Amino acid sequence: MVLRKSNENHRGVKPGSAPRRCDLKGLSLSQTEEWAVRHGLEPYRGRQIRHWLMGRLVGSPHEMTNIPKTVRALIREKAIINPLAQVKTLRSEDGTRKYLFRLRDNHLIESVLIPERDHLTLCISSQAGCAMGCRFCLTGRQGLKRDLHPSEIIEQVILVRRSLDNPEELRNIVLMGMGEPLANYEAVMMALRNMIAEDGMNFSHRKVTLSTCGLVPEMKRLGHDITINLAVSLNSADDETRSSLMPINRKYPLKTLIRACREYPLPNRRMITFEYILINGVNDRAQDALNLAKLLTGLRAKINLIPLNAAPDSHMSPPPLERVLHFQEILVGHHFTVVIRKSKGRDIMAACGQLTGASATEQKGAS
C-alpha cells in the first residue's frame, strides 16, 4: 500500500476543527478517488471502496476483503457508510413490503417494494415529509421536515437489495415515495447518477422513473441533465380543479406544465407517464376524461389511472369501478395507452399517497 500525505483540513472543514466524516455513498467515482487521495491512499483504493459499497452492497468495512486492515480502519474512522438504519418491514397480503428507515437525525422515511409478474419495483423517498401539500396525499400533511442527502436516497435501494434472497430481481426504481424529487434536485441527481452508473449500481436508465407534481424549471433541467423516465402527477385537465387538489398548479398552471412536457427531450419510443388519481365526484366525470384527452393530444403520453387510496379520516373517496372503466374507455377511444393501476399494499398503508413514516410503527405484520 502506497501512502500519500493526508490533508485533513480539506474543503468544508475549518482549520483546527475536527474533520467531518465523509458520507461515501453520496459521492461520485471521481470524488471517492479524491477522498482516498486526501487520506494518503492511491486513487484505485477509492474505486475498490466504491465497488464494495455500490456493487457488493457491503454494510461494513470488515467485509472489504481485498482492502488492507489499515485502510478498513481508516474507513471506519473517517467515513459514513450506513446513513440509514432499518427499523422494521411490514408485509402486505399481496406481497408488497414497506420498509421503515430511520435517518441519523431520527426522522423516519419509507420505501415500498412492489412485486410484479417477473421482477420487483422499489418506490423510494427523496425527502422526509413534503412541502407540496397535495390534498389527496398523506405525506403532504406532514409538511417538509428536510431534504434527503444523496446517500440516504441510494441507501434505500442498497438496504432493500441486501434484504432480498435474489437482489437481481429488483430491476425497477421509481422516485414516487415521500417528497417531491425535483424540490431536492442536486441530491436526487447525484443519487440517480450513482444508480445508473456502470461503476455504481448499474441500473438501466430505462428502468428508473422520477415522478413530479410539476416543478417546471427543474423539469427542464432534468431533461438535459440525465436520461430516465418521467412521470407527471396531473390529476385534472382544468386549472380550477387541479389548483384545488395541488397548490403547485397556482405557480405552474396547466398551460405552462404541458408546454414543458411537449418540450421535454424524449428518446425514441419513450413516453411521459401522466398519473391521474381518480376521486369520486371531483375529477372522474366523462367530461373530465374528454378534457384530459384534449389536453394531451399530440404528446407521447401514457396515462396511469389510480383510484384514490383514501385515508381513514378523508372526506374524499375513489369512484365506483364502472366509472373508472368508463373513464379509461373514453381515453382509449382517443388512442391513448391507459392503464388502471392496481394499488398494492393498502392493508399496510403502502399504496400511492399513503406514506407517512411514523404511521408504519403502528401497523400490524411487522418483522
Is residue 137 annotated as part of the catalytic site, yes or no?
no
Instruction: Pull the grid cell for residue 295.
Output: 389536453
pLDDT of residue 222: 97
CB 30 within 8 A of CB 36: no
**Cα Rg of the chain (Å, integer):** 22
Which region holds residue 87: left if phi is over 0, alpha if psi is between -120 and 50, else beta?
A: alpha
CA 218 – CA 226 distance, rounded (Å)? 12
- Topology at the third CATH level for domain 84-362: TIM Barrel (3.20.20)
- Catalytic residue, candidates 110, 152, 155, 275: 110
- Catalytic residue, candidates 130, 137, 213, 352: 352
Domains 22-80 and 84-362 share a fold: no
pLDDT of residue 17: 35
Which one-letter amino acid corresponds to residue 218? E
Measuring CA to CA, which residue among 210, 237, 232 is closest to residue 327? 237
pLDDT of residue 343: 73
Is residue 110 annotated as part of the catalytic site, yes or no?
yes
Region 22-80: CATH code: 1.10.150.530
pLDDT tens by residue, the chain, 367 residues: 433 333 333 333 333 333 479 999 999 999 999 999 999 999 999 999 999 999 999 999 999 999 999 999 999 999 999 999 999 999 999 899 999 999 999 999 999 999 998 999 999 999 999 999 999 988 888 899 999 999 999 999 999 999 999 999 999 999 999 999 999 999 999 999 999 999 999 999 999 999 999 999 999 999 999 999 999 999 999 999 999 999 999 999 999 999 999 999 998 889 999 999 999 999 999 999 999 999 999 999 999 999 998 776 678 999 999 999 999 999 999 999 999 988 766 665 655 665 666 644 444 444 4
pLDDT of residue 241: 98
Provide the residue ranges of all domains of the chain, joining segments of one domain with +: 22-80, 84-362
Measuring CA to CA, which residue among 2, 20, 23 is closest to residue 11? 20
